[in-house]
A and B are shown apart, each in its own frame.
Chain A
Amino acid sequence: MSTTPVIEVEQLNLTYGDFHAVKDLSFEVRPGELYALLGTNGAGKTSTLEVVEGHRRPTSGAVRVFGHSPDNRRAVRPRMGVMLQESGFSPDLTVRESVGLIGRLTGRTDDVDRVLDLVDLSSRARRKVAQLSGGEKRRLDFATAVYGTPELIFLDEPTTGLDIQSRDAVWTSVDRLRENGATIVLTTHYLEEAQQRADRIGLMHQGTLHREGTVTELTRTLPAVIRFTIPAPAPAPALPLQAAVDVDGKVVIETFELQKDLHLLLGWAQDHAMDLRDLAAGPTRLDDVFRAINN
Chain B
Amino acid sequence: MLSIASSELIQIFRNRLVLITSLIIPVVVSAYFVRQHDTFAGLGSLGYIAAIILFTITAFGLYTTAVTTLASRRQNLFLKRLRSTAATDTTILAGLLLPVVVLAGVQVTAILTALAVVASAPANIALLVVATTATLAMMIALALATAGLTNSPEHAQVTTLPVSLGVISVASWVGITGTENLAALKRLLPGGAATELTMNAWNGGVAVTDSLLLLAPTLGWVVVAVALATRLFRWEPRR
Contact = CB atoms under 8 A, between A and B. Distances in A.
Q: Please determine whether chains A and B interact with each other in the same assembly.
A: yes
Interface of A: 53-55, 73-74, 77-78, 82, 84, 86-93, 97, 101-102, 104-107, 128, 144
Interface residues of B, number: 22
Contacts of B3: 101, 104-105
B85 A102 contact: yes
A84 B77 contact: yes
11 contacts: A54-B84, A77-B85, A78-B86, A84-B84, A86-B77, A87-B77, A93-B7, A97-B10, A102-B82, A105-B87, A106-B86
B88 to A, nearest CB: 6
B36 interface: no
Given A74-B88, A89-B76, 18 more contacts: A55-B80, A73-B86, A73-B88, A74-B86, A88-B76, A88-B77, A88-B78, A88-B80, A89-B81, A90-B78, A91-B76, A92-B11, A93-B10, A101-B3, A101-B4, A102-B82, A102-B85, A105-B87
B15 interface: yes
A61 to B, nearest CB: 21
B10 A73 contact: no
Given A97-B7, A105-B3, A105-B87, A92 B15 contact: yes
A74 B89 CA distance: 12
A107 B77 contact: no
Given A73-B88, A107-B86, A92 B14 contact: yes
Contact of B83 (A55, A92, A128, A144): A55
Given A92-B14, A93-B11, A97-B10, A105 B82 contact: yes
Contacts of B80: 55, 84, 88
Given A55-B80, A84-B80, A90 B7 contact: yes
- Residues of B contacting A: mostly: helix
Contact of B84 (A55, A74, A97): A55
Contacts of B7: 90, 93, 97, 101
A244 to B, nearest CB: 44
A106 B3 CA distance: 12
A267 B87 CA distance: 66
Given A86-B77, A90-B76, A73 B87 contact: yes
Contacts, number: 68
Nearest to B79: A88
Contacts of B73: 90
Nearest to A108: B86
Interface string B221-239: 0000000000000001000
B4 A105 contact: yes
Contacts of A86: 77
Contacts of A54: 83-84
B11 A90 contact: yes
A227 B88 CA distance: 57
A73 B89 CA distance: 10
Contacts of B83: 54-55
Contacts of B78: 88-90
Interface in B78-112: 78-88
Interface in B1-58: 3-4, 7, 10-11, 14-15
Contacts of B81: 84, 87-89, 102, 144
A108 to B, nearest CB: 9
Contacts of B77: 84, 86-88
Contacts of B88: 73-74
A84 B80 CA distance: 9
Nearest to A90: B78
A91 B236 CA distance: 17
A89 B86 CA distance: 17
Contact of B86 (A77, A84, A128, A144): A77
A56 to B, nearest CB: 9
Q: Which of B76, B79, B85 has the most CB of A within 10 A?
A: B85
